[in-house]
Structure formats: structure tokens, C-alpha cells
């Protein structure tokens, strides 16, 4: 078989990152956000690894993401919440799977209480994100509806921070105060505000449960600060060929990247079909045998090109594995150079890259 891009995933690193985040959150419980196939790293393997070390609460975005993992979670005594909420047509699936919807509106709270009066759920408050969640003016009506129905099944009230990656942003304190004011009204069993970055704002943000995603997977959640999480994956692709360019030769589609002098170019076997964004064209880097080289020329569907002119003997690189993201070319440095979110760089890595689990179960 031809060689193709692959992702090596270190489940031990994810487990150790979980323990670090759990210890940071001290008295609070620590959940795991495994939406988007655990940010591309494989929701089933990640969930199993985290269940093994005692994680009991998981979040996905969509109900379909619950299907492959909920049996394991439930048989380990855990719970799974679905962030995108409830639509009437998914009610029966929620109930039969035993997944908990995170309800976002008065209408869906009413619907859930009447259709599934004994089934647990969560409520999401919008404290300034203007995305999902109850508006403050809906609080009173929802509280009234809850007290008339089975409020005891309200396991969690949560909200989500818009600017936790920027600790000095005034929005953090505003959202904290809004959540401190509003969340007690609902008398939920637990409350939750912090994502990965929120854990590091201060203890006030921890409440009963924290909900990290990115930091579990070794991503750095906060600008201008490095936390001690371990990178959990390496993404590599094969170096297929070396080309020699003359001054004036163009590279790739559009022919608008031009060699300004003689150059050696490496052709790497991964492209946007593998999830390498076209936006890394002429600004991203890769690491080959420990050295960093710039991406040169527009990223194609299945390949891209790298300027390896700085290498003494470029032809000797043929057959090497090129690190697209990993210890030699970190998610954060690629993100900073290219302006792509680290989240997006991760979740775009497509199924065409084999997932190889280096350690643990
Ligand atoms: C995605 C998400 C998280 C996890 O965020 P990270 O920044 O990856 O830690 C937590 N809560 C909600 C509501 C989310 O949508």
C-alpha cells in the first residue's frame, strides 16, 4: 500500500492532561468534551481512556455523536450531555439512549418536562455569548415551569464563556457575575461555567463542574501563557519527491508562487482533502528530520510543496515522514503563523489520515 498521512494519538497524554485539569479544578468535578470525534482524535478511544481513570461526565454537541459512546459511559455509571439541545423529532432517541439534552429555550424545557417527565436534563443560560441558551428575561418563566414540573431532574445549569482565552477581557467578569446571579434561581443539582481556558481564570469560575476540551488534547487554551498539558498527537505525511526550480518557475495551482532564485522543493503527500487548510499556503511550516521548512506554493487536494533549499542534500529527504503538527511543529506555532484557530486545525484532519493509538488501551 502507498504511504499516506497518519495521526499518532497518545491516550496516556490525554489521561495525564485530564488529571492535571482535574487537579487544577480542585473541589469541582471535571468533565470531558468529546464533541467532533474528540476534536478529531477518536471519541470512542478517548472516552474509554477517560472512563478508565474515573471521568464520569461527557459532553458532545450532537445526538449522533452520543451513539458510539453512550453505552460504555452508562455502564461505567457516567452521564452524557448533548450541548446543541433538543429538537422534537429527537426526543425518543434522547430517551432511549439515555442522553441528557442541554435545553436552550423555554419551549424545549416545557416540551421535555411534558414528554419525558422523569428524564434528567440540563439548562443552558446565555450570559453574553449570544449563541445558545436562555435569555435572562426567560428565567422567570422557566423557573416557574420547572417548579410546576419535575425540577428534580434538572441535573446541571451551565453557561459558556466567550473570551476565556484572554484572561484580561472584561467580558469574563461580566459573564461570571451574570452566572453567579442567575444560576441559583434554577436550583439545579450542579452548575458549570468553565471550558479549558476558564479553568485558568480563577477558582471563582470552577463552580461544580468544569468542561475542558482543547486542553485535554494538549492544545494551549490561553493566549500568551503556556500551561503544562502534554501534546497528544502527531500528524505526519510522506515526502514524495524533490523538485529543482529555476528562477521564475511557478509552483502549484494558480501559478502565483514564483521561485525568486534556484530552489529545491519537497512535494508532500497530504493536502486539503486530508484537512490541511489552503490558508497555510506560503505561511505555514513543517518539520522534517528535526528542521523547520516553510510551505511554498498553494496547497492542493492531495499534496503540497515545501521550500527545502536550506537543506544540504534535499534528495536525501525523499521517503522521510514530514511532521505537519507535532513536537517539531506545534499546533500553537502553526496557528500563530497561519492565523488558523488551533481548534480548526485539529478538527479538520480528515478520515483519510489513519489514526494510530500509540499507548494505552
Ligand atoms: C466546545 C465547548 C467546550 C469545550 O471548550 P474548550 O475550549 O475546547 O475547552 C465547553 N463547553 C461548551 C458549551 C462547548 O461548546
Predicted TM-score of the model (pTM): 0.96
Q: Is the pLDDT of residue 229 over 70?
A: yes
Atom of ligand 1 nearest to the CA of 211: 10
pLDDT tens sequence across 90-115: 999 999 999 999 999 999 999 999 99
C-alpha cell at 224: 500568551
Q: Is the pLDDT of residue 354 over 50?
A: yes
Please tell me the number of Cα atoms within 13 Å of 290 on its side-chain side. Answer: 0
Report the C-alpha dihedral over residues 46, 47, 48, 54, rounded to 10 degrees: 110
Collapsed DSSP state (helix, strand, coil) of residue 7: strand
DSSP class of residue 125 equals B
Atom of ligand 1 nearest to the CA of 214: 8
Query: If you average pLDDT over residues 171-175, what whole number do you get?
Result: 98
Q: Is the pLDDT of residue 150 over 90?
A: no
Q: Is the pLDDT of residue 255 over 60?
A: yes
C-alpha cell at 336: 500563530
Q: What is the pLDDT of residue 233?
A: 97
28 vs 168, more confident = 168
List the residue whose alpha carbon is closest to atom 4 of ligand 1.
213
CA 61, CA 34: separation in Å to the nearest integer?
A: 8
Confidence of residue 359 (pLDDT cuts 50, 70, 90): low
Cα-to-centroid distance, 194 and ligand 1 (Å): 8
Q: CATH topology of 31-217 equal to that of 233-357?
A: no
Q: What is the pLDDT of residue 1?
A: 64
Q: Among residues 304, 299, 305, 256, which one has the least CA distance to residue 278?
A: 299
Cα-to-centroid distance, 212 and ligand 1 (Å): 6
List pocket residues of ligand 1, CB cut-off 6 Å: 33, 35, 83, 160, 195-197, 211-215, 221
Q: Which of 6, 35, 39, 343 is catalytic?
A: 35
Beta bridge partners of 303: none
Cα-to-centroid distance, 281 and ligand 1 (Å): 29
Domain boundaries defined on the chain: 31-217, 233-357
Confidence of residue 361 (pLDDT cuts 50, 70, 90): very low
**Topology (CATH level 3) of domain 31-217:** TIM Barrel (3.20.20)
Query: If you average pLDDT over residues 7-11, what whole number do you get?
Result: 97
Q: Which of 111, 171, 253, 357 is catalytic?
A: 253
Q: Please, what is the average pLDDT of the chain?
A: 96
Give the burial string for 221-236 (b: 16+ CB within 10 Å, else e).
bbeeeebebebbbbbb
**What is the percent of the chain with per-residue pLDDT over 90, rounded to a whole number?**
95
Cα-to-centroid distance, 149 and ligand 1 (Å): 29
Q: Which CATH superfamily is domain 233-357 in?
A: Lyase, Ornithine Decarboxylase; Chain A, domain 1 (2.40.37.10)
35 is known as an active-site residue: yes
Atom of ligand 1 nearest to the CA of 33: 4
Amino acid at each position: 500500500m502507498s504511504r499516506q498521512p497518519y495521526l499518532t494519538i497518545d491516550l496516556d497524554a490525554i489521561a495525564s492532561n485530564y488529571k492535571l485539569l482535574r487537579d487544577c479544578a480542585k473541589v469541582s468535578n471535571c468533565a470531558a468534551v468529546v464533541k467532533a470525534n474528540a476534536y478529531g482524535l477518536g471519541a470512542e478511544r478517548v472516552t474509554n481512556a477517560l472512563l478508565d481513570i474515573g471521568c464520569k461526565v461527557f459532553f458532545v454537541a450532537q445526538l449522533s455523536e452520543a451513539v458510539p459512546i453512550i453505552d460504555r459511559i452508562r455502564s461505567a455509571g457516567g452521564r452524557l450531555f448533548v450541548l446543541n439541545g433538543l429538537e422534537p423529532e429527537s426526543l425518543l432517541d434522547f430517551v432511549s439512549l439515555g442522553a441528557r439534552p442541554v435545553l436552550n429555550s423555554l419551549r424545549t424545557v416545557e416540551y421535555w418536562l411534558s414528554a419525558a417527565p422523569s428524564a434528567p436534563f440540563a439548562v443552558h443560560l446565555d450570559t453574553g455569548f449570544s449563541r445558545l441558551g436562555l435569555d435572562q428575561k426567560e428565567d422567570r418563566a422557566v423557573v416557574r415551569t420547572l417548579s410546576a414540573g419535575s425540577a428534580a431532574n434538572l441535573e446541571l445549569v451551565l453557561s459558556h464563556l466567550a473570551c476565556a482565552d484572554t484572561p484580561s477581557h472584561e467580558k469574563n467578569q461580566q459573564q461570571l457575575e451574570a452566572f453567579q446571579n442567575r444560576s441559583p434561581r434554577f436550583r439545579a443539582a450542579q452548575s458549570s461555567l468553565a471550558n479549558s481556558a476558564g479553568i485558568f481564570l480563577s477558582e471563582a469560575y470552577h463552580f461544580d463542574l468544569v468542561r475542558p476540551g482543547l486542553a485535554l488534547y494538549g492544545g494551549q487554551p490561553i493566549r500568551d501563557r503556556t500551561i503544562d498539558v502534554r501534546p497528544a498527537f502527531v500528524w505526519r505525511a510522506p515526502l514524495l519527491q524533490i523538485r529543482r526550480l529555476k528562477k521564475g518557475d511557478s509552483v502549484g495551482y494558480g501559478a502565483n508562487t514564483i521561485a525568486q532564485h534556484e530552489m529545491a522543493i519537497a512535494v508532500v503527500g497530504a493536502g486539503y482533502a486530508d484537512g490541511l487548510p489552503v490558508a497555510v499556503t506560503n505561511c505555514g511550516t513543517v518539520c522534517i528530520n528535526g528542521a523547520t521548512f516553510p510551505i511554498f506554493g498553494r496547497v492542493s487536494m492531495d499534496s503540497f510543496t515545501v521550500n527545502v533549499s536550506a537543506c544540504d542534500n534535499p534528495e536525501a529527504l525523499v521517503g522521510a515522514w514530514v511532521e505537519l503538527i507535532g513536537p517539531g511543529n506545534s499546533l500553537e506555532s502553526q496557528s500563530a503563523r497561519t492565523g488558523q484557530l488551533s481548534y480548526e486545525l485539529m478538527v479538520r484532519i480528515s478520515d483519510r489520515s489513519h489514526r494510530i493509538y500509540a499507548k494505552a488501551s
